[in-house]
Every structure is written in structure tokens, then in C-alpha cells.
């Protein structure tokens, strides 16, 4: 587990950074090794970690180096990815997070990290565990009849949110139409946003959970219940149509357009859904958007047109054809 939230690496009392204060790269490596040696012995956690922890130990050591104020080798090797995305494939409930945190505290103590760095690290990893822990983890895959019993006993679970996580957002992300329908019956809010400001509809369009017929059914259902097809969200200020274009979801993009999604909506870079599809080489979505009137000469904030940035020859030819017809 790794966390990208803010950590103040400066130590006013000692000067330098946390990285320098705790002993540099060697201590980061030792902390990672001690932590993962405990994971190997944990009957609860070892099943959600890889069987061979060698690579993960090295990655986490590099993460610590960078996060505590050392060289940015972790990002150079692993790239930038949000905490949620990097751990989305794991089922991390409160029990798992608490055990993870306990092992981290023990490793910090065994490394004999002194104050004030010790408390700074404990606070940081406490917030990490809180962010990763999902109180709904045990409910996501419950059989529908069992989930209905629980919702009858506690209907507020359908509308409950923890750091933007909801039962509805998970069901929609996995294109589980029956579960989505049930949660909406119990009053789930389709316009709840996660910590990055992404709506349930946006999360649905960024998934690739199964057959696209299922995804379209979920999208249509969310729209019927009031989902905003033109909501711009997250740091990139993208719409659901931007994300569908990026993922290559042709049928889903068509559903959004039929629901009056703005075809020329701009994100934070001034890019349209057509530009997103072109960037990602999604020819099917490119053809759909052009057929629905998207402008191949629309410009981003740098003045670059969609046509000018097209890298794939077949897509560029389609854009040129559409330009001549305008």
C-alpha cells in the first residue's frame, strides 16, 4: 500500500528532511523489509498481497525515499497513479487496514525512528489506512437477497458515503444492473461524488467491467434517476462522455449523446471528447462522434486542433474526410 496524500517532509527542529533525519535510503529499505516480513506472517493480510513480496518491498522502499524527501525514483519507475486506482483491485476493509497499520507502527518502532519523525510517520500512515479502509467492503458482493435484508434493517446504508465511497458507486462501476436497481429503490443518490469529485455516472464510464450492453443499461438507469450527463468533475474537469471516449465505449457514448451530452464540452486542457478518443486511438468512438457532428478542427488551450495531433493514420484520414465535408 502507498499513499499520495500530502506529507510535510521538513523538520524545523532538526533541519533537512524526514529522509535525512531517519537515516536516508538504507533506513527506508529496512523499514520496508521489516514491514513486509510481518505481512508474510499475517494470515489475514498475506492473501491480498503477492506471494513473492520482493518486488513490492523494493517498490515500497523507493516510495518511502521519495515521499520522505529523497530522490523521485518511485514516480520515474512506477508512474503517477492515485491511491484508489493503485489499490482498486484489493478488498480492504477496516480490519485489514487496522492490521496493516499495526504492522507499520511496529516496523517504525523496530527501526528506532526518533521523534518528531516517528509521530509524523505514524500520523501519515494512519491517514493512509483510513483512506484505504472501506467500511462497505463486506457488502459489495453479498447476494442480492441478503443485501435486501440488510437494507430493510438499515435503509440508510443505501445513501451512506465514506470518503466518497458508496454501495451505488461500486455497483455502477462493476456494471451490476440488478444491484444498481435495488440501491436506487432504497434511495441511493446518483449524483454523490467521490473524493476527486467524480460522479457515479463518471465512474461507470471509466470501467471495463464486462459486456457493454450491461454498461449501457446502467448508464440509462442512472440518467433516468437524474444523473447529470454534462457534469465536469475531478482535476481534469472531464465529463462522462470524455471518459467513455477515452475507454472506447462506443455504445455507452451513444447513450450519453442521446441523453444530450455536450459533444463539444471542454476539459481543463480545452480538449473535447473527440480529442480524447483521438489521443487514445479509439477509432470506433471517433467515427461515432464525427457522425454526430463533432468538430475535427476544435482547438485545445494551446491552439492545437484535433486533426493536428492525430497520430494514427486511419484516424487522421477519417478526420481529414470529415474536415473536407464541413
Instruction: State the residue for C-alpha cell 517532509.
Output: 9
Q: Where are the beta strands (DSSP E) in 66-215?
A: none
Separation CA 127–CA 195 (nearest Å):
14
Separation CA 61–CA 318 (nearest Å):
47
Q: Are residues 117 and 159 in the same domain?
A: no
Number of domains in the chain: 2
The vertex-48 CA angle with 80 and 38, nearest 5°, equals: 95
Q: Are residues 244 and 174 in the same domain?
A: yes
Determine the pLDDT at residue 9: 60
The vertex-127 CA angle with 205 and 28, nearest 5°, equals: 105
Biggest CA–CA distance in the chain, Å, is 71
Q: Is the dihedral of CA 291, 297, 303, 308 positive or negative?
A: positive
In this predicted structure, the answer to whether residue 5 has a pLDDT above a threshold of 60 is no
In this predicted structure, the answer to whether residue 1 has a pLDDT above a threshold of 50 is no
Instruction: Report helix, strand or coil for 21.
Output: helix
Residue 269 lies in a domain: yes
Q: Are residues 169 and 303 in the same domain?
A: yes
283-291 and 313-325 helices, crossing angle to 10°? 0
Q: Are residues 248 and 124 in the same domain?
A: no
Q: Are residues 157 and 302 in the same domain?
A: yes
Q: Are residues 168 and 199 in the same domain?
A: yes
C-alpha cell at 321: 474526410
In this predicted structure, the answer to whether residue 12 has a pLDDT above a threshold of 60 is no
Tell me the average pLDDT across 107-113.
Answer: 93
Residue 10 lies in a domain: no
Q: Are residues 124 and 174 in the same domain?
A: no
What residues contact residue 12 under an 8 Å CB cut-off, 6+ apart? none
Q: Could you say which of 75, 108, 132 is where a domain stops?
A: 132
Q: Are residues 128 and 181 in the same domain?
A: no
Q: Could you say which of 132, 161, 177 is where a domain stops?
A: 132
Q: Are residues 149 and 113 in the same domain?
A: no
| Domain CATH code at residue 203 | 1.25.40.20
Q: Give strand pairing partners of 199.
A: 193
Separation CA 93–CA 74 (nearest Å):
26
Q: Is the peptide bond before 152 cis (omega within 30 degrees of 0)?
A: no
Q: Give strand pairing partners of 165.
A: 162
Determine the pLDDT at residue 3: 40
Percentage of residues in the chain with pLDDT exceeding 90? 62
In this predicted structure, the answer to whether residue 285 has a pLDDT above a threshold of 60 is yes
**Other C-beta atoms lying within 10 Å of the C-beta of residue 312:** 15
Separation CA 274–CA 290 (nearest Å):
8
Determine the pLDDT at residue 2: 43
Q: Are residues 160 and 26 in the same domain?
A: no
CA neighbor of 163 nearest in space, from 81, 245, 82: 82
Q: Are residues 57 and 188 in the same domain?
A: no
Determine the pLDDT at residue 4: 45
CA neighbor of 100 nearest in space, from 129, 72, 65: 129
Separation CA 169–CA 201 (nearest Å):
8
In three state form, how does the secondary structure of 85-109 look? HHCCCCCCCHHHHHHHHHHHHHHHH
Q: What is the mean pLDDT of the chain?
A: 88
Separation CA 28–CA 25 (nearest Å):
5
| Structure confidence by residue, pLDDT tens digits, 124-181 | 888 888 777 777 877 888 899 999 999 999 999 999 988 788 999 999 999 999 999 9
| Structure confidence by residue, pLDDT tens digits, 169-226 | 999 999 999 999 999 999 999 999 887 889 999 999 988 877 778 899 999 999 999 9
Determine the pLDDT at residue 13: 45
| Domain CATH code at residue 118 | 1.10.490.10
Percentage of residues in the chain with pLDDT exceeding 70? 92
Q: Are residues 264 and 317 in the same domain?
A: yes
Residue 245 lies in a domain: yes
In this predicted structure, the answer to whether residue 315 has a pLDDT above a threshold of 60 is yes
CA neighbor of 315 nearest in space, from 282, 270, 273: 282
> Read out DSSP for 210-257?
S-HHHHHHHHHHHHHTT--TT--BTTTTB-HHHHHHHHT-HHHHHHHH
Boundaries of domain holding 118: 18-132
Separation CA 169–CA 199 (nearest Å):
8
Determine the pLDDT at residue 264: 97
Amino acid at each position: 500500500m502507498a499513499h499520495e496524500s500530502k506529507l510535510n517532509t521538513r523538520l524545523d527542529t532538526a533541519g533537512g528532511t524526514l529522509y535525512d533525519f531517519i537515516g536516508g535510503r538504507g533506513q527506508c529499505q529496512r523499514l520496508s523489509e521489516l514491514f513486509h516480513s510481518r505481512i508474510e506472517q499475517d494470515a489475514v493480510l498475506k492473501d491480498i498481497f503477492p506471494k513473492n513480496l520482493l518486488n513490492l518491498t523494493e517498490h515500497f522502499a523507493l516510495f518511502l525515499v521519495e515521499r520522505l524527501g529523497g530522490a523521485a525514483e518511485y514516480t520515474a519507475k512506477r508512474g503517477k497513479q492515485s491511491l484508489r486506482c493503485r489499490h482498486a483491485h484489493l478488498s480492504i476493509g477496516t480490519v485489514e487496514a487496522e492490521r496493516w497499520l499495526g504492522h507499520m507502527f511496529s516496523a517504525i518502532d523496530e527501526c528506532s525512528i526518533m521523534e518528531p519523525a516517528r509521530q509524523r510517520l505514524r500520523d501519515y500512515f494512519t491517514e493512509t489506512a483510513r483512506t484505504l479502509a472501506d467500511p462497505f467492503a463486506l457488502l459489495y458482493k453479498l447476494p442480492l437477497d441478503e443485501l435486501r435484508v440488510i437494507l430493510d434493517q438499515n435503509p440508510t446504508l443505501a445513501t451512506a458515503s465514506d470518503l466518497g465511497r458508496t454501495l451505488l458507486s461500486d455497483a455502477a462501476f462493476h456494471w451490476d444492473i440488478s444491484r444498481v436497481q435495488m440501491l436506487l429503490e432504497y434511495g441511493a443518490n446518483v449524483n454523490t461524488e467521490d473524493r476527486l469529485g467524480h460522479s457515479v455516472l463518471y465512474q461507470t464510464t471509466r470501467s471495463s467491467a464486462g459486456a457493454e450492453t450491461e454498461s449501457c443499461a446502467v448508464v440509462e438507469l442512472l440518467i433516468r434517476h437524474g444523473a447529470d450527463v454534462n457534469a465536469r468533475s475531478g482535476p481534469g474537469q472531464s465529463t462522462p462522455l470524455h471518459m467513455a471516449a477515452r475507454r472506447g465505449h462506443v455504445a455507452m457514448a451513444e447513450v450519453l449523446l442521446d441523453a444530450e451530452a455536450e459533444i463539444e464540452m471542454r476539459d481543463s486542457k480545452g480538449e473535447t471528447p473527440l480529442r480524447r478518443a483521438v489521443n487514445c486511438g479509439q477509432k470506433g468512438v471517433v467515427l461515432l462522434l464525427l457522425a454526430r457532428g463533432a468538430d475535427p478542427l476544435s482547438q485545445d488551450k494551446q491552439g492545437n486542433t484535433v486533426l493536428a495531433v492525430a497520430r494514427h493514420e486511419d484516424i487522421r484520414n477519417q478526420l481529414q474526410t470529415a474536415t473536407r465535408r464541413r
